[in-house]
Amino acid sequence: MSDDQDQENTNANTIESLEEDSSVADTGSSVQDELSRKTEECKATNDKYLRLAAEFENYKRLTQRDQREQIRFGNEQLLKELLPVVDNMERAIKAARTNGSDVALVQGVELTLKQLSGILTKFGVQAIETAGQDFDPSAHQAVSYGPSNDVPANKILDEFQKGYRLHDRILRAAMVSVSSGPAQPSEHDSTTN
């Protein structure tokens, strides 16, 4: 009987070792599954990191651009407020010349205007050219439109108020009169009646 018992013990040991091997195999496949899950999780985290890094770079670029714009156009409101002062000084000079006022006073106002204009130019403000130019609705504000035998159609006839530009941005559009071209005979007849 001992041989039978030894045989049974051997068979039991063999069965147990086979069961252990299958549990090890099961454990191996679960380890593989876990490894593949962790690999996918790592890839997803890496993709998320790369997107976040790209978004941060875009944010940084936009912030830097906004800062440059702020520096470049930060004094825009102040410069807009100074433009009427320039207009008034130009009007004073024009009025003083037509009325024959004191020459020294006119020269003093002219020098002050020149100095103020120099400061505006230093900060990037330029007058918008109007004389003989084509009408540009982005830089000119048409306040009248009429015929002219001397000036072709859609050209500026007269400037009522100067326009100014700060770098590439319009501070104030020039107020102008625009030519509609030579007067038509029917227009002359209707205006004379």
Reported as a pLDDT band with limits 50, 70 and 90, residue 16 is low
Reported as a pLDDT band with limits 50, 70 and 90, residue 50 is very high
Contacts (Cβ under 8 Å, ≥6 apart) of 109: 89, 92, 93, 96
- Residues 152, 133: contact at Cβ < 8 Å? no
Reported as a pLDDT band with limits 50, 70 and 90, residue 91 is confident
- Residues 153, 177: contact at Cβ < 8 Å? no
pLDDT tens profile 122-159: 888 998 988 888 888 888 988 988 888 888 888 898 88
**Percent of the chain at pLDDT above 70?**
81
Domain 124-193 CATH superfamily:
Head domain of nucleotide exchange factor GrpE (2.30.22.10)
pTM for this model (two decimals):
0.58
The domain ranges of the chain are: 1-73, 74-123, 124-193
The mean pLDDT value of the chain amounts to 82
